Amino acid sequence: MNINNIKKQFPIFNNKVHNNDLVYLDSANSSQKPQMVVDRIYDFYTKEFSNVGRSVHYLAVAATNLYENTRTMMQKYINAKDPNEIVFTKGATEAINLVANTFGQKFLNEGDEILLTELEHHSNYVPWHYLRKLKGVKINFAEINNDGEITIESIEKSITPKTKMIAITHLSNVTGAILPIKEITSLAHSKNIPILIDGCQGAPHLKLDMQDIDCDFYAISCHKMYGPTGLGVLYAKKKWLDALPPYQGGGGMIREVKKEGISFGDLPNKYEAGTMATAQVIAFGESIKFLNQIGIENIEKHESELTKYGEEVLRKNNSVKLVGNPKNKGSVLSFTLDGIHAHDIATILDEDGVAIRAGHHCCQILHDKLGLSATARASLGVYNTKDDLDKLNESINKCRKIFDR
Amino acid sequence: MDLKELYQEIILDHGKNPRNLRKTENFNKDAKGHNPLCGDKVHVFLKIDENKNISDISFEGSGCAISMASASIMTDLMKEKKEKEVKELVEDFLQMIKESPEMKTKIISENEKTKLMSLSGVKQYPMRVKCATLAWHTLTSAMNNSQEETNTEKFD
Ligand SMILES: Cc1ncc(COP(=O)(O)O)c(C=O)c1O
């Protein structure tokens, strides 16, 4: 795998930031886009545009086929059983809201409990929080250990006879911990509890097999997978999509509409009300192609080597404290510098063209637990190199120098 | 304007060793401020005497060098000022941070103005302007006896 050739496919790297080469270390927030994805959006709008699933003219039929083709590609990419188990949403956030809302409506009652973890992104907490007021459900949080991991024991300890749903992240966007989701799913199912995985950070980096994991729901954010913004995927087992009520009402999701009543359309239309992010879905097909061309196994290997290298470099740097120390770690390096606030770090690194994220990364519960108000985070993508991590380290040293003057 | 001008000595000095970082005894006005984007937090305490003078001002909180330096310099300047003067100073400072190239007020000395102008470096970093203004908005809330937590997302 030749990273230079891969990097060349990303036009963003032709630009300078403050007169420096861009060192992009914010892929956990959102990844950059390869030329083929950008071109696909342009081509669709210039040559092929039509709305999908409605008209019968030539363009409409072609666009509908392209749109449905991405669904099938995604089904294969994550090895779902049926293409109808792939629902397009506006993002992972909407995917989780869809489940929380419809599952909550139909299956949750006062006193029922939902189990999350302390690692969760606000997107996998706030949608469930609404059910506290609406349904009187209780939310529990499985606790992290000292290394910033969630173990199967921690989940097991937190399950009660009232637990009606488990919703956990695949890979923490702060500590990088990869959760044993297959084992947790099997534990959940042994107690008849459905499980939702927030796969935002898993999907761009790890090989996925829905039938092997056997989870009930898996939420994906396409813009973190080298795809367009405004698009997410909800994988859900067909039995759930059949059993749950529709989420939003509107055109495209109905069968018959009468003044007296309405019947709803079949899957997948039932959950895709209104005009969808058509160009994005079609362009996302190119993201899947891009990932397949490189091979997710190769991406995993490259990123895991880089993560180890980054950890090594930062550990050697005495002023850096890494956040979390999970044994099974994805390509996220969160850190603090003694006496320098994360936002000051990010501003100083930016001057060198080094793009990182600073703040609580939408994980306030975790930061409160760690006693940190903010952390700095460098996160990797397929286009990163060891050189990027060396530049990160140099910039961190510059930060230290400015503050120790 | 470059980074050295933003992180100049006076800001690092106040940022690392903020003045008036404590809680005024027998304060009679206070307000909390929060910058949700950065997680910066300040709590401003005021003691205003019967002649409407600020006899003491202090703050508690945590945040980046810019927000801490801003709160530190602000509290230093506001001591012994009259309520009316405080309002004028806050307005003038916010004007300067947003658009004006200088401060117009005659209440403080040129030397003191230079101190405040050191914060003008954030103009180059739009995401950081809120760090510099948090303490000032919070001071206004405290003066107005506003019970609602100041949230920089509500200001431009
Ligand atoms: C772990 C995690 N969950 C959820 C989200 C939200 O995803 P989206 O931007 O697709 O709504 C993110 C992205 O910020 C994330 O990192």
If asked whether residues A218 and A339 sit together in one domain, one would say: no
Among A2, A3, A9, which residue's Cα sits nearest to residue A289?
A: A9
Cross-chain CB nearest to B3 (options A339, A342, A348):
A348
Distance CA B63, CA A294 (A): 42
Question: Any idea what DSSP says for residue A144?
Answer: P
| Number of domains composing chain A | 2
Distance CA A277, CA A89 (A): 8
pLDDT at residue A293, rounded to an integer: 97
Chain A contact present for B10, CB below 8 A? no
Chain A contact present for B1, CB below 8 A? no
Distance CA A286, CA B143 (A): 57
If asked whether residues A67 and A113 sit together in one domain, one would say: yes
Is A230 or B128 the better-scoring residue by pLDDT?
A230
Q: Nearest chain B Cα to A352, which residue?
A: B3
Paired tokens of A168: 């956990």
Query: A403 and B62: CB-CB below 8 Å?
Result: no
Q: Are A286 and A37 in contact (CB under 8 A)?
A: yes
Please give, rounded to a whole number of angstroms, the shortest distance from the CA of B7 to a CA of chain A. Answer: 8
Question: Any idea what DSSP says for residue A246?
Answer: P
Distance CA A20, CA A355 (A): 11
Please give, rounded to a whole number of angstroms, the shortest distance from the CA of B65 to a CA of chain A. Answer: 7
Query: B63 and A348: CB-CB below 8 Å?
Result: no
pLDDT at residue B154, rounded to an integer: 59
Domain boundaries, given as residue ranges, for chain B: 3-144
Cross-chain CB nearest to B128 (options A347, A374, A405):
A347
Q: Are B41 and B138 in contact (CB under 8 A)?
A: no
Chain A contact present for B6, CB below 8 A? yes
Whether pLDDT at A177 is above 70: yes
Q: CB neighbours (10 Å) of residue A82? A: 12
Mean model confidence pLDDT for chain A: 96
C-alpha B58 – ligand 1 centre gap (Å): 39
Is A405 or A51 the better-scoring residue by pLDDT?
A51
Q: Are A220 and A242 in contact (CB under 8 A)?
A: no
- What CATH number corresponds to the domain at position A376? 3.90.1150.10
Chain A contact present for B13, CB below 8 A? no
What confidence tens digit (pLDDT) does each residue in A93-108 have? 999 999 999 999 999 9
Q: Is the CB of residue A123 below 6 angstroms from any atom belonging to ligand 1? A: yes
Please give, rounded to a whole number of angstroms, the shortest distance from the CA of A232 to a CA of chain B. Answer: 24
If asked whether residues A303 and A227 sit together in one domain, one would say: no
C-alpha B77 – ligand 1 centre gap (Å): 43
Question: Any idea what DSSP says for residue B53?
Answer: B
If asked whether residues A243 and A358 sit together in one domain, one would say: no
**B148 CB burial (10 A radius; 0-12, 13-18, 19+):** exposed
Arithmetic mean of pLDDT, A268-276: 94
**A285 CB burial (10 A radius; 0-12, 13-18, 19+):** buried
Paired tokens of A176: 């990088």
Distance CA A131, CA B9 (A): 50
If asked whether residues A14 and A53 sit together in one domain, one would say: no
Distance CA A98, CA B125 (A): 37
Query: B12 and A348: CB-CB below 8 Å?
Result: no
In testing the pocket of ligand 1, which one of A94, A97, A224, A233 has its CB within 8 Å of the most ligand atoms?
Answer: A224
Question: Any idea what DSSP says for residue A268?
Answer: T
If asked whether residues A287 and A305 sit together in one domain, one would say: no
pLDDT at residue B156, rounded to an integer: 46
Distance CA A63, CA A67 (A): 6
Among B30, B22, B49, which residue's Cα sits nearest to residue B147?
A: B30
Q: Are A284 and A227 in contact (CB under 8 A)?
A: yes
Chain A contact present for B9, CB below 8 A? yes
Per-residue tens of pLDDT for chain B, all 156 residues: 467 778 988 999 999 999 999 999 999 999 999 987 777 899 999 999 999 999 999 999 999 999 999 999 999 999 999 999 999 999 999 999 988 888 999 999 999 999 999 999 888 888 889 999 999 999 999 998 766 677 666 554
pLDDT at residue B66, rounded to an integer: 93
Question: Any idea what DSSP says for residue A95?
Answer: H
What confidence tens digit (pLDDT) does each residue in B89-117 have? 999 999 999 888 889 999 999 999 999 99
A136, A384, B137 from B154: Cα distances, Å: 31, 37, 10
If asked whether residues A268 and A340 sit together in one domain, one would say: no
Arithmetic mean of pLDDT, A248-272: 91
Chain A 294-313, residues with CB within 8 Å of chain B CB atoms: none
| Interface mutation vs chain A, best among B4, B7, B60, B68, most A CBs within 10 Å | B7
The phi and psi torsions of A69 (rounded to 5 degrees) equal -65, -40
Q: Is the CB of residue A375 below 6 angstroms from any atom belonging to ligand 1? A: no
DSSP-derived pairing of the beta strands A320-322 and A354-355:
unpaired
Chain A contact present for B128, CB below 8 A? yes
Which residues lie closer than 8 Å to A155 by C-beta, 6 or more apart?
A115, A117, A142, A166, A168, A184, A187
If asked whether residues A112 and A231 sit together in one domain, one would say: yes
Q: CB neighbours (10 Å) of residue A375? A: 26
Q: Is the CB of residue A221 below 6 angstroms from any atom belonging to ligand 1? A: yes
Which residue range is the domain that position A316 belongs to? Answer: 3-30+295-403
What percent of chain A stands above pLDDT 90? Answer: 95
Distance CA A271, CA A217 (A): 14
Q: Are A219 and A225 in contact (CB under 8 A)?
A: no
Arithmetic mean of pLDDT, A14-36: 97
Which residues lie closer than 8 Å to A109 by C-beta, 6 or more apart?
A135, A136, A137
Distance CA A349, CA B21 (A): 28
If asked whether residues A169 and A55 sit together in one domain, one would say: yes
Chain B contact present for A60, CB below 8 A? no
Half-sphere exposure of A283 (CA within 13 A, CB side): 28
If asked whether residues A109 and A80 sit together in one domain, one would say: yes
Q: Are A224 and A200 in contact (CB under 8 A)?
A: yes
CATH label, B3-144, candidates 3.40.1390.10, 3.40.190.10, 3.40.50.720, 3.90.1010.10: 3.90.1010.10
pLDDT at residue B155, rounded to an integer: 54
Rounded to a whole number, what is the distance in angstroms from the first to the last CA of chain B?
Answer: 22
Which of A229, A258, A292 is a domain's end point? A292
- What CATH number corresponds to the domain at position A104? 3.40.640.10
Cross-chain CB nearest to A405 (options B12, B66, B125):
B12
What percent of chain A stands above pLDDT 70? Answer: 100
Chain B contact present for A351, CB below 8 A? yes
What confidence tens digit (pLDDT) does each residue in A327-382 have? 999 999 999 999 999 999 999 999 999 999 999 999 999 999 999 989 999 999 99
Looking at chain A, how many residues does it have? 405
pLDDT at residue B2, rounded to an integer: 66
Q: Are A174 and A202 in contact (CB under 8 A)?
A: no
Chain B 45-64, residues with CB within 8 Å of chain A CB atoms: 62-64
Q: Is the CB of residue A232 below 6 angstroms from any atom belonging to ligand 1? A: yes
Q: Is the CB of residue A228 below 6 angstroms from any atom belonging to ligand 1? A: no
Please give, rounded to a whole number of angstroms, the shortest distance from the CA of B84 to a CA of chain A. Answer: 34
Q: Catalytic residue numbers of A?
A: 362
Q: Are A93 and A198 in contact (CB under 8 A)?
A: no
Q: From the alpha carbon of A93, which atom of ligand 1 is closest?
A: 11
Query: A374 and B39: CB-CB below 8 Å?
Result: yes
Which of A292, A320, A337 is a domain's end point? A292
If asked whether residues A90 and A131 sit together in one domain, one would say: yes
Please give, rounded to a whole number of angstroms, the shortest distance from the CA of A359 to a CA of chain B. Answer: 5
A61, A72, A253, A277, B151 from A54: Cα distances, Å: 9, 20, 11, 15, 46
Q: From the alpha carbon of A28, which atom of ligand 1 is closest?
A: 16
The phi and psi torsions of A321 (rounded to 5 degrees) equal -115, 120
Beta bridge partners of A235: A86, A218
Distance CA A320, CA A372 (A): 14
DSSP-derived pairing of the beta strands A16-17 and A20-21:
antiparallel
The least confident of A82-86, A292-296, A398-402 is A398-402
Task: Take atom 4 of ligand 1 and give the residue whose Cα is closest.
Answer: A123
Interface confidence (ipTM) of the complex: 0.85
Which of A225, A258, A292 is a domain's end point? A292
If asked whether residues A389 and A241 sit together in one domain, one would say: no
Distance CA B140, CA B146 (A): 9
